[in-house]
Amino acid sequence: MVSLNPTTVRAFQEELQKEAAAVDALRTAGSYLSRQAGTAGAGMGAGGLLGAGVGTGIGAVRGYQEAKAQGASGGQAALSALGKGVHGGLTGTAVGAGLGGVAGLAGGEAATGMAKKLVAGKNSLAGAARFGERQVHSLTGAVPSGYASRGEAMGAMQAGAYPARERLDAAKKGLEAAWTGDGKPGALHKAVKEHVGAAKHLEVAQKAEDMGLTSVPGYLKSLATNPVDTLKTGLKEQWHSGGLGSKAIMFGLPAADMASQLGKADDPQGQGRGRFESFGRAAGQMALGAAPIPLAGQLALGVGAGSLGGLVGAGVDRKLDRKKAAQGQGQPLPILTHEEESVGGAPVEKHYTNAALGRPPEGLGA
């Protein structure tokens, strides 16, 4: 029988308090990271743009000076400046994005307030900050803090249904102008068509935002609970978001790639993949890569879906290979026969053993 005494009870209570404190600390840290994720994204975007400018300038000047010091002509020095500038720009982007992200993450409420003012601007720096926020949101599902609602935060970083809403506003203005003005023949018909398309786009884009399909975590969660509606809504949003050119790039090219993979025995890059494995990769990338998620999340989701589709396709390839082997439809073995070759003008006779010819050893024949 267990014996409890005051010392044991106090030790047990202290241990529970320690565990509760650790859980509270983790919860607090997670809440802080969630609040600051959007700010970190804004810092990464703005810092990356500033770093690119500074790095490009420094690299170009350094490249030009080094080339001239080595006796290069003006044209050669300019080419060297261009190459060094590109390299410096890439380095500056990485360094600036890293520093901006750290500043946004560690800056607390002060950094959040600055980020909120920054993304409200109309300049390129504001655009870069909003881009960074969208990429962080696409990978984590976090939205910038400091807004009254999630929808307002999505609109502030111009994600979710924001582009569709802007498109519909522009379509309304275009329709009013075509209706009241003396435009070119067919202008009114074109304006009506664009207005109808924009309205459909906003409807499905708002549904996708409400379902949480604008980030990888939200999309996967929705896919697990409601796969059919998730795939349908995501593909519809992408379909209505652009014209014929974007539809051809987004759906036509992947579909053509899928069809071409079925006609190939191996991966075109020589990686030894079967045709159904290659088809599965292309199908997975098209199906989930077309989700209404900003660039970073869409790339991550497309790569993951492509790998999953490749695994399924590889299983189909193995099953077909086993079936062919069982039916004797594999590659036929070469038939070895008695033949002569000419070496240096003189005939050389070649002989094969009974085993090579598929015969029993001598003395054991029928």
Burial tier of 35 (Cβ tally within 10 Å: 0-12, 13-18, 19+): middle
Contact 237, 208 (CB under 8 A): yes
CA distances from 120 to 46, 130, 155, 273 (A): 13, 9, 11, 49
Residues 139 and 150 placed together within one structural domain of the fold: yes
Q: What domain count does the chain have?
A: 3
> What are the tens digits of pLDDT across the range 296-351?
888 887 777 767 766 777 777 777 777 777 776 545 545 444 455 554 555 555 55
> What are the tens digits of pLDDT across the range 170-221?
999 988 888 887 666 678 888 898 999 999 999 999 999 999 999 989 998 9
Residue 220 lies in a domain: no
Residues 149 and 175 placed together within one structural domain of the fold: no
| pTM for the model | 0.66
User: Last residue of a domain, which of 116, 136, 159?
Assistant: 159
CA distance 316 to 329: 17
Count CB neighbours of 276 within 10 A.
22
Residues 23 and 164 placed together within one structural domain of the fold: no
Q: Which domain holds residue 81?
A: 9-159
Q: Long-range contacts: 203-208, Cβ < 8 Å, 24+?
A: 204/233, 204/236, 204/237, 204/240, 205/160, 205/161, 205/163, 205/164, 205/165, 205/237, 205/240, 205/241, 205/292, 206/160, 206/161, 206/164, 207/233, 207/237, 208/160, 208/161, 208/233, 208/234, 208/237, 208/292
Residue 318 lies in a domain: yes
Residue 14 lies in a domain: yes
